[in-house]
Amino acid sequence: MSAPIAPAEAARLKALPKAEVHLHLEGCFEAALIAQWAQTEGVALPRPQEDLFKFSGLADFLGFLDLACGLARTQDRLVELSYGLSQRLAANGTGYADVIFNPTHWHVWHGRLGPMLDAIHAGFTAAEQDGLPGVGLCVSLLRTQSANEAIELLDALTTLRHPRVVALSVDGNEATAGRTGPRFAEAFRKAGSAGLRRTVHAGESSGPEGVWDAVDLLGADRIDHGVRAIEDPALVQMLADRQIPLGVCPTSNLVLGVYPSIEAHPIERLRLAGVRVSLNTDDPALPGASLVGEYALCRRAFGWTDEVTREVARTSIEASFANGDVKAGLLERLKVW
Ligand code: ADE
Ligand code: ZN
């Protein structure tokens, strides 16, 4: 799936000033770390360590996240994970990231959102103090939650007003949850009023209708995935007209079986239709997912020139929820890449 990248190309793509706007804290566990924590806790792994990241699809993968996150039982482990994520960002030359964090996967922490956010914040703050990239947190609902649970989360966020949190998000499996836009509309409306940005998973496990709902009912500033919008020309036109950016994750889509090959992936058709697309890893622990690798993959598959590469990187920065200074700094550096 991922051919090796020539060292010179990898170095150039690492040097490309860029943001990552679609990756999950839950998707950052290394297999070795999971194995080590599982052994310490006496938890049995579902398969041998070398096969741990072999998934049959999104549902299988989401179940695995529950197991992995269930092992992060202490504040120290959350600090270690967040710091490790920042190191991974730096290794790819990422200047800033919006990181999705879904409290539902972390069973041991249920009912303790404040301490959990504090621990994650401590990891990212230590990383920033060590010169690693800045991170904003997008706190996420799971698609299968109820309207009441959504309002509860939103109320907790507005009470906490945590300095690390920049956005409300929703992720999970729309194929099993069905149409849930109406269920979450009120929480997303309140998030907007509270000054939070809004990002919505859609058009991965849902078709175009999920993307329409994300925009019409949830007021999405950005769509995570959104690629199945390609199935509805009117939707493609609307996304292009309104310049609503998509956080696209080609390798994740291939590994989790949304598309059979990079050639079949619609990112290039969306881009050519005027839709703003950025490149992201989604879950960096998935086999073959790295931000440099995503750029290399698309350059090779679609013949992207440096100009196109720069345009996609610009979208990643502009679509991010970074503050104005961070964006301006990255955009300035991008001009001379
Ligand atoms: N949570 C983590 N990764 C996800 C994905 N690819 N789709 C939906 N929810 C997720
Ligand atoms: Zn995602």
DSSP 292-336: HHHHHHHHHHH---HHHHHHHHHHHHHHS---HHHHHHHHHHHHT
- For ligand 1, atom 8: residue with the closest CA: 172
CA–centroid distance, residue 171 to ligand 1 (Å): 6
What are residue 8's phi and psi, to 5 degrees? -65, -40
Domain count for the chain, please give it.
Answer: 1
Residue 162, domain member (yes or no): yes
Provide mean pLDDT across the span 219-223: 98
What pTM was computed for the model? 0.97
Verify whether residue 20 is a known catalytic residue.
no
CA 148 to chain centre: 25
Task: State which ligand 1 atom lies nearest to the alpha carbon of 172.
Answer: 9
256 has pLDDT over 90: yes
**Residue 275 belongs to some domain of the structure:** yes
Where in the sequence is the domain holding 226, given as residue range(s)?
7-335
Query: Is it the case that residue 235 has pLDDT exceeding 70?
Result: yes
Run of H or E residues at 116: helix 113-129
Q: Would residue 212 count as lying in a domain?
A: yes
User: Is there a domain that residue 1 lies in?
Assistant: no
Please state, in angstroms and rounded to a whole number, the distance separating the CA atoms of residues 220 and 227: 15
Residue 34 in any domain: the answer is yes
Percent of the chain scoring above 70 in pLDDT: 99
Where residue 66 sits, what CATH number does that domain have?
Answer: 3.20.20.140
Q: Report whether pLDDT(236) > 70.
A: yes
pLDDT score for 2:
65
Higher pLDDT, 50 or 82: 82
Distance CA 35, CA 31 (A): 6
| Predicted confidence band of residue 83 (pLDDT cuts 50, 70, 90) | very high
- Could you report the per-residue pLDDT of 138-173, keeping only the tens digit for each? 999 999 999 999 999 999 999 999 999 999 999 999
What CA–CA distance (Å, rounded) separates 22 from 224? 6
- Residues 87-91: what's their mean pLDDT? 97
**In this model, does residue 1 exceed pLDDT 60?**
no
Cβ atoms within 10 A of the Cβ of 243, count?
12
